[in-house]
Structure 1
Amino acid sequence: MKILLLTLLTILSVSCNSQEKKIAEIKNPTEKNNASQIGQYVVETFQDSKGNLWFGTLEKGVAKYDGNKLTYLTTKNGLPSNRITNVIEDKAGNLWFGTGTGISKFDGKTFTNFSKKDGLCSDMISNLLIDSKGNFWIGTWGGVCKFDGTQFENLPIPYPKIETKINQDTKDWITTIREDKEGNIWFGRDGYGASKFNGNSFVHFTTKEGLNSNNVQSIAEDKEGNIWIGTRVAEKDNADTDKRIGEGGLNKFDRNKFVHFSEINGLSKSDVFTIHNDKSNDLWISSTSNGVYKYTNNEFVNYKVPTSTMSFLKDKKGIIWLGCAGGLYKIDKDGKTINVTTNGPWE
């Protein structure tokens, strides 16, 4: 169990077995012209209200590109950790970073840090969300809590009855938090499926309701109100390599039933770690062996990416940025995938 936990912490919401990690490392691009990758693992891509691009890494802090130059913010600048898993912005323009040692508020000049000693439910942050009502949700490896800017309040989520084996090291890991158009908050959980919270009570969705796996990694909503859920193959945690086969992949929930996509390579009996709504009514979906898919006009369009994708961003110029295991990539107008290093290309 401890070996699994260390592996998960190393690559966060990406692959949970060392074999996939080795594949990602083998496919890393060769450094050229003294350029280096933005980060070995770029797990967050975000654009703030001023147009700055932010890239969270697991080992180099957060990288900021302001349109002219690339700079890094690290523990030397005041961050509590160089493991940056999330970046969000509040209404006042402050940036909030989820890290491996709590959360950090950045007003553009100084950092204010909060950790478990301040009441945070866990220092290992996995998700941050400010919902439409201004509620600040913090997902961690030890559950979820709300934050009013001063105090933290834990939100206990009931455990649905599960027939499949539960990994005790990750049973309280909140893998994703999303708000739907009706104001419900959805929590992804590693082993307990997805839980929908209406502010008063929870509804749980597991394999009993139609999910292909109880190990949920990502949740998104499309323009029709369908809920898309990405899951991973829990059997890949098995020490016996002959038993690492199981259900997993992409699920579509139309508020009545679940639909699976066994005909699409990489989206069935596989891992889907990231689903992103780009606000243009297109969905971007990661796979571990078949690049990424854009779901548009009821069709899946495939883009080749040499390694696993962990985060998506469609910026204000319409450029698609991919945070990956192995660096940062973007997709140009012709659908070509380009590796972006510390030397670019940015345009």
Structure 2
Amino acid sequence: MFPLLLISCKGPVTTDISEEKNRHDSLIDSQKDLQKTTPQQEKIPNDNLVPLFYPGQLCHWIRGIYEDSKGNLWFGTNHYGVMRYNGRILQYFTEKEGFGGNRVSGIAEDDEGNLWFGTTGGLTKFNGESFEIYSEKEGLLDNWISTMTLDSKGQIWVGTMDGLNIFDGSSFETLAIPKPQIEKPEPILSHNRITSILEDKNGIMWIGTDGYGICKYDGQEFTHITTENGLADNNIAQIWQDSQGDVWVGTMFGGVSHFTNDAVTNYHAVGIIKLVEAVGFYEDRAGNIWFAVEGDCIYRFDGKNFVNYNEDD
């Protein structure tokens, strides 16, 4: 039983989940066959473009998966809030239960065990018992969070549709990101949108933008990386670092850029990756790099060669 904390103009309001009759009013027990059990579809609005559920799926679009320190798996969705799976029970949390927003763009856990979620309704904190929402009223630039990350100092970097905030747990600081000189920037959603944030092994922040490439920040100075100095595309989808310290950049229209020390390789240029969105980077135990490419399924890179796995496989 989890009480939920809702933020309102009259102060915090606590709601008990057991008393909340919501569209996900049933819990899914994993002892049943999850491949045959899906949430009650008639109580969840279907997407106009994509079917909500396919057989065996929890939701048609999972934006991210995170395992917390207790071993719970959290699934951030594109329309239906967040799901928590504890190894036995699958539970949904949405705006109706006090969750910040139904589109989840990031999940992180701080040193005190609090979970943080970037959503379309602000920054949501979960302390294990209740949700607390931090929004524009508390100084967030925009409630629509597009990306977030927890840095080595315990600060939360929050990328929004209108710029970048740094949150210390109590207040938001705005970090103004300078724009490089680009003749014809072509943002997809907003000139100020921050799309991805990475702290590399040297403590440098890599900040992805919507049409203005990457901005690196060392705490004092900004350095720009754009198509003018080697980047595959100025519209950034994801920035990720592997165990060797190489930085991989998935772009929206230019495939993948691979940064090794001071060198960059654009794999679309050698005819490997299509000029479409690349995201979902992951390194397996053998050191292979995996990522997804829109409309072209997944790729595996073993350090020398790429293998494409698609529907035929």
Aligned-pair distance for 1:141? 1.1
Deviations 1:82-104 (A, max 9, x none): 22222111111111111111011
Call closer, same or farther: CA 1:30–1:44 in 2, change over 3 Å: closer
1:223-242 aligned within 5 A: 223-233=243-253
SS in 1 for 2:50: helix
| Structure-2 separation of matches of 1:178 and 1:277 | 16
Deviations 1:215-264 (A, max 9, x none): 1111112233222111112xxxxxxxxxxxxxx11111223232122345
1:82 maps to 102
1:330: which partner in 2? none
Q: Deviation string for 1:98-157 (max 9, x for gaps)?
A: 111101110111111110011011100111211112222111111111111111000001
Greater alpha carbon shift after TM alignment, 191-200 vs 276-285: 276-285
Question: Which has the higher mean CA deviation after the structures are superposed, 267-276 or 200-209?
Answer: 267-276
What do the CA deviations read for 1:31-72 (whole angstroms, capped 9, x no partner)?
A: 4xxx6x422321111111111111111222111111112111
Retained in 1: the 8 A contact 2:287–2:302?
Answer: yes
Of 149, 170, 176, which aligns to 1:150? 170
State the aligned residue count.
Answer: 266
2:25 maps to what in 1?
A: none
Which residue identity does 2:50 align to in structure 1?
E
Task: Mark the structure with the bigger radius of gyration.
Answer: 2
Partner of 2:50: 25
The TM-score with structure 1 as length reference comes to 0.71
1:109 to 104, 126, 129: 129
Identical pairs, percent: 38
Amino acid at match of 1:283: I
Unaligned runs of 5+ in 1: 1-20, 234-247, 307-335, 337-347
**Higher RCO (Cα < 8 Å, 6 or more apart):** 1
Instruction: Mark the runs of 5 or more structure 2 residues left unpaired by the alignment.
Output: 1-46
SS of corresponding position for 2:228 = coil
Q: How big is the shift at 1:29?
A: 6.7
Q: Does 1:48 align with 2:54?
A: no
1:221–1:277 CA contact under 8 A, matched in 2: no
Question: Structure 1: how far apart are the matches of 2:67 and 2:201?
Answer: 22
The answer on whether the counterparts of 1:62 and 1:82 sit within 8 Å (CA) in structure 2 is yes
Q: What residue identity is the alignment partner of 1:195? A: C
3-state secondary structure, aligned to 1:298:
coil
1:300 aligns with 2:306: yes
Please state if 1:119 is matched with 2:142.
no
Separation in 1 of the partners of 2:127 and 2:311?
35
1:191 positional shift:
0.4
Report matched runs for 1:1-347 at 5 Å.
25=50, 30-31=54-55, 37-167=57-187, 169-233=189-253, 248-262=254-268, 263=270, 265=272, 267-277=273-283, 281-304=287-310
Give the secondary-structure state (helix, strand or coil) at the position aligned to 1:274: strand
Q: CA–CA distance in 1 between the matches of 2:286 and 2:123?
A: 30
Range with greater deviation from structure 2 (182-191 or 224-233): 224-233
Q: Do the aligned residues in 1 keep the contact of 2:155 with 2:169 (CA within 8 Å)?
A: no
Matches of 1:55 and 1:275, distance apart in 2 = 17
- Quick check: 81-90 or 42-51, which moved more? 81-90
